Amino acid sequence: MSDATLSSAAATAPARSPSRARGESPVVQFVLIAVSLAFLLLFLLLPLVTVFIEAAAKGWEAYRAAITEPDALAAIRLTLLVAAIAVPFNIVVGIAAAWAVAKFEFPGKNLLISLIDLPFSVSPVISGLVFVLLFGAQGYLGPWLQANDLKIVFALPGLILATVFVTFPFVARELIPHMQSLGSSDEEAALTLGASPWRVFFSVTLPNVKWSLFYGVLLCNARAMGEFGAVAVVSGKIRGLTNTMPLHIEILYNEYMGAAAFAVASLLAGLALVTLVLKTLLEWHYGDVIAASRRH
């Protein structure tokens, strides 16, 4: 949510002329800027700084020990693995869905758009619980899975499913408006010139949308690594086995190991910072393209 507000604020920032045209007095401008800056400092920057201060509270050695401890390493590895599977999956399916919505007219299109947004409107806890209901031992498919010795919930597949579910909208949501605004004339031209459908996709469509795709992937990845609620429900919280980084942070904190918890948290926060920097760079260089893609 805050991501969306933040980036749209940032996207409109360079376009100063409209506000002048509306003739708002400099005082109003100043107050608005001051208020939003103060808010950002207080509610976003301050907590982030606290994470790093707390992480460093017991010194470098303790920090290093906290993030190289076997359970922490297992959590980091698991988080990366889940993201490495969930994000590519969502890229492929997200492109497919965006394509379908942007380039074709078909019955049920509005339903599809609403379905894409569904994970945003459903609480992550529920996203996790549905998988327990489906695949849990008491669930609909539970007995069959058990009879065949297959594990979904409380194991890696459950973590991936929950992450895929929660992060699905990011790629499609970024691509749809952009693809819609581009229309299909470029593709049609390429086809009439005799290009194969694959060639059209890789040489025309993909380059056209690459920045909004990249943007969507960034957001998708950040959420995939940071997801807590849905993952907590399907994880079973087995240390060193099904504990992702966010879950590991909570466990450490609950074991009175605050410095260690914040050390691992600082890694996640570091990831968020990298995402933020990349995003800012993108907006700086390709602000027009992304702004265009945001005209809903």
Q: Is 278 in the site for other proteins (CB under 8 A)?
A: no
The residue whose two tokens read 């469509």 is: 205
Q: Is 290 in the site for other proteins (CB under 8 A)?
A: no
Q: How far is the CB of 237 from other proteins (least distance, A)?
A: 5
Closer to other proteins at the Cβ: 41 or 92? 92
Q: Which of 160, 166, 245, 290 binds other proteins (CB under 8 A)?
A: 160
Contact 295, 177 (CB under 8 A): yes
Of the candidate residues 56, 65, 103, 208, the single one contacting other proteins (CB under 8 A): 103
Each residue 116-155 as x (binds other proteins by CB under 8 A) or -, in order, gives ----------------x--xxxxx--x---x--xxxxxxx
Angle subtended at Cα 208 by Cα 184 and Cα 120, rounded to the nearest 5 degrees: 90
Distance of CA 109 to the CA centre of its chain: 24
Of 254-273, binders to other proteins (CB under 8 A) are 254-256, 258
| 229 contributes a contact to other proteins by CB under 8 A | no
- The first and second tokens of residue 258, run together, are 């605050």
Asked whether position 183 contacts other proteins by CB under 8 A, the answer is no
Residue 194: CA count within 13 A, CB half-sphere: 0
| Enclosing H/E stretch for 205 | none
Residue 12 token pair: 């409109």
Closest CA to 205 of 103, 91, 278: 103
Q: Hey, what's the torsion of the CAs at 198, 200, 202, 203, to 10 degrees? A: 140
CB of 10 to other proteins, least distance (A): 32
Residue from 48, 100, 112, 292 touching other proteins (CB under 8 A): that is 100
* # residues contacting other proteins (CB under 8 A): 49
For other proteins, which stretch binds (CB under 8 A), given 11-19, 22-30, 53-61, 231-239?
231-239
Span from 18-26, 37-45, 172-180, 248-256 in contact with other proteins (CB under 8 A): 248-256
Residue 236 in the binding site for other proteins (CB under 8 A): yes
* Cα 187 to Cα 215: distance, rounded to the nearest angstrom: 22
- Residue 157, interface with other proteins (CB under 8 A)? yes
Structure tokens that stand for 42 in this block:
């207080």
In our burial notation (b when 16+ CB lie closer than 10 A, e otherwise), range 91-129 reads beebbebbbebbeeeeeeeeeeeeebeebeeeebeebbb
- In the complex, the residues that contact other proteins under the rule CB under 8 A are 85, 88-89, 92-93, 95-96, 99-100, 103-104, 132, 135-139, 142, 146, 149-157, 160, 184, 187-188, 191, 197-198, 200-201, 236-241, 251, 253-256, 258
